[in-house]
Structure 1
Amino acid sequence: MCKMSFKKETPLANAAFWAARRGNLALLKLLLNSGRVDVDCRDSHGTTLLMVASYAGHIDCVRELVLQGADINLQRESGTTALFFAAQQGHNDVVRFLFGFGASTECRTKDGGTALLAASQYGHMQVVETLLKHGANIHDQLYDGATALFLAAQGGYLDVIRLLLSSGAKVNQPRQDGTAPLWIASQMGHSEVVRVMLLRGADRDATRNDGTTALLKAANKGYNDVIEELLKFSPTLGILKNGTSALHAAVLSGNIKTVALLLEAGADPALRNKWCRLQQG
């Protein structure tokens, strides 16, 4: 279990934080060896020296702090740990080192974040691979339901997505609002991600809680490359229960090339007149 305790800041402790942040190993060792700076001293937010050094990627400082007895799994006020910060910033050497001394993948932030979720969100493929090898849960979710795959899809990190899918990530696992990884990739215009997820069984016509689909969102944004990938896996355009179609969304957004693409794909030509009126008006 990850515990949190706070200790009062001192001028020497502040100097130690500066040394950890800048990677000044000599100064850090001098302060720690003086016996006047606790290796687990914290700032006002509960940040430790080890967290600071891990965030900055100063592996020598991280090693010194751990060897001097720093508690690897202490959590900040927000719930973040040294492992979380190293993973978030893509410092794979630090991540590997921390695992060698018992770093936990189970500590969570206030929004449910874990090291795996952070690494996936920022596209750090090597870190994701290291975390999975050391027991990180591929099905970790933020409290809003976002998975590692969802966060990687949002950022368009294709190598991370391939790794997560090959490791057992659920391609259709939505957030609580019904947004699936394919939907968010389509909204962001990541056509290669869309293609890979469709090949791995993503449901093209899955709807969000508001009833929108990946195709409709891509049409609304004018992402023609995404639309072409979506149509390859199903030529049907689909109309929502409220009568909204992808063509309708493209018309309202004024995406001329998207309108043309959808009409060529067989969208309802009855909407052509509405488009012409908008063009003339």
Structure 2
Amino acid sequence: MINLPYNSNLKLKSILDRVNNNDFLQSLWECINVNAVRRMGLSDHGPVHFAIVSNIALKILRNLLEADVKPNIVTDHQMTNDDAEVVVFLGAVLHDLGMVAHRENHHLFSVPLAAQLLPSLLEGIYEDRERAIITAETLHTIYSHESEIPQLTLEAGVVRVADALDMKEGRARIPFIAGKKDIHALSAMSIRDVKIRKSKQKPVVVEISMYNESGIFQVDQLLRKKIAGTKLEGFIEVVAQVENQQRKTVLSRYTLGTLPESPTAEVIVQK
């Protein structure tokens, strides 16, 4: 069950209800986790993942909207911000469907599976033309959520980055306990918390706190690649820091979309 702050967006509420009551989709999510967790030793890619990603994505998008950043469904199709929220939500909950087949090239398999589900999720909520646009924009977010695929819309960038931000400590616990001790597992285990806020300078500020310095791999090697090339560049700042009771160390602070910055180290002793 996904809980989402749909606010006054009644289209989003209706689609959320349909997602939560779609047995076929729920079963696909369970099949994804069989492949991801049981067979491949990866972190959770099931219902919890989709709930986390959809909430993060909606938070990022709303921060951008409050800063008057225009989604592509508005600028290219003259639809509304509410419709952009629908696209982002659908992309967030459908982007990994292809993992029922395999992790490799899963974005290719996700597109036809999502195309099969979208008619029943949108029927009666949108007329034919709008339903076609929502379908097209959603499929683009799904296909391009992997770093190597060029992105064409703001909504796609929101989904890609939200997917990457499902990185808190507990999300890596399954592969770690199962014996996976590579840099991916170790760095993921060091992520203490992820928070999203806004500042006067940037509508999206991602604050990542870590137990130790190994988490910088998640931030500087993985998250940076996810943000690069998206339409979020210039609107997002990422701050990574190690926190404990004695001190707070800022390991990396960078803003993508401007001139590259070298990671900086700043030690703040807290009394």
TM-score, reference length from structure 1? 0.30
Structure of higher CA gyration radius: 1
Write 1 or 2 for the structure with the bigger share of strand.
2
Identify the structure with bigger relative contact order (alpha carbons < 8 Å, sequence gap 6+): 2
